[in-house]
A and B are shown apart, each in its own frame.
Chain A
């Protein structure tokens, strides 16, 4: 066997194949939401300009940085897993969860401040889509955090010593949640 064949055989998909199909399904649903939002904006330009002006861009920036940082810690925890450094895995996951909590806190504060202004899901088409898309993403963050907590509890027991697949699957799901926000943030807050 030559070197090229060895390199090809070394290429391995991180995590379970089933998780990747789940990730693709999730990405497809969000793609429809994003494109639907853009088309509706095209048809209601003035309404969307006014709606976006009422959003708190700084909280969007804080949330983007919180999710990116959380993703960094998850990536570092995967590296620690490959080196079998249990203590580091646990600490990195705790930091990842802390930054995820910052996202939940800021997003909840943002919803609360909109509600206090009398804005809700029925206010107009812009806010219907805003609440639907961001709340759907919020639920994915919550699910991702449940997965991270599960990974943390198993890591504490050193249960990933032999098989890394479950840990890598959870990590990739979390990166997907981050990637979705990377598209969502400019679409809703910036442009």
Chain B
């Protein structure tokens, strides 16, 4: 990870945080909104895992575990909201 990569990731994370709140104000369908929000959560989790934690350069099993977490947990929550 370089300092530039860390700074770009930080800017994307802040943008996605503001975007998720903005989407909450313009999208009135809970179903659609939940899918959008948890897609954003996965993307943010991937940035933290790969860039901040530097698991992109670690043995792949640890990266898979962390990415699996930010994919599976939000997906389960999203599925509960979609029932």
Q: Which A residues are closer than 8 A to B by beta carbons?
A: 10-14, 20, 24, 27, 31, 34-35, 38-39, 41-42, 57, 61, 64-65, 68-69, 71-72, 74-76, 78-79, 172, 175, 178-179, 182-183, 185-187, 190-191
The reply to whether B30 and A191 contact each other, CB–CB distance below 8 Å, is yes
Of the residues B17, B57, B70, contact of A179 by C-beta under 8 Å: B70
The 4 closest A-B pairs by CB, nearest first: A72-B10, A38-B80, A38-B77, A75-B6
Q: Which of A12, A42, A191 has the most CB of B within 10 A?
A: A191
Minimum distance in angstroms from A15 CB to a CB of chain B:
9
The one of B34, B38, B51, B73 in contact with A35, judged by C-beta atoms closer than 8 angstroms, is B73
Whole-angstrom CA separation of A61 from B14 in the bound complex: 9
Contact B53 A191 (CB under 8 A): no
Number of residues of chain B lying within 8 A (CB) of chain A:
45
Q: Cβ of A178 and Cβ of B48 under 8 Å apart?
A: yes
Would you call the interface of chain B mostly helix, strand, loop, or mixed?
Answer: helix
Q: Which residues of B contact A12 (CB under 8 A)?
A: 57-59
Q: 0/1 per residue, B60-83, Cβ < 8 Å to A?
A: 101001000110011011001101
Task: Tell me the smallest distance from the CB of A123 to a CB of chain B, in Å.
Answer: 23
For B20, list chain A residues within 8 Å (CB): 186, 190
The SS class assigned to the A binding surface is helix
Q: Name the A residues within 8 Å of B3 (CB-CB).
A: 76, 79
Q: Which residues on A sit within 8 Å (CB–CB) of B73?
A: 31, 34-35, 183
**Could you say which residues of chain B place their CB within 8 Å of the CB of A10?**
57
Q: With A35-B73, A182-B41, A191-B24 as known contacts, state yes or no: A20 contacts B83, CB within 8 Å.
A: no
Q: A11-B58, A14-B55 are known; give 12 further A-B pairs, CB within 8 A.
A: A13-B58, A27-B69, A42-B81, A61-B17, A64-B17, A71-B10, A72-B10, A75-B51, A79-B2, A178-B48, A190-B20, A191-B30
Whether the Cβ atoms of A182 and B53 lie closer than 8 Å is no
Contacts of A185 in B (CB 8 A): 17
Nearest opposing residue in chain A for B49, CB measure: A179
Q: How far is the CB of A97 from chain B (nearest CB, A)?
A: 17
Interface 1/0 per residue, B1-45 and A, CB below 8 Å: 111001101100110011011001000001001100110110011
- Nearest CB in chain A to that of B61: its residue: A13
Q: Are B53 and A172 in contact (CB under 8 A)?
A: yes
A72 to B10, CA, bound (A): 6
Q: Which residues of A contact B7 (CB under 8 A)?
A: 72
Determine whether the beta carbon of B17 is less than 8 Å from that of A68. yes
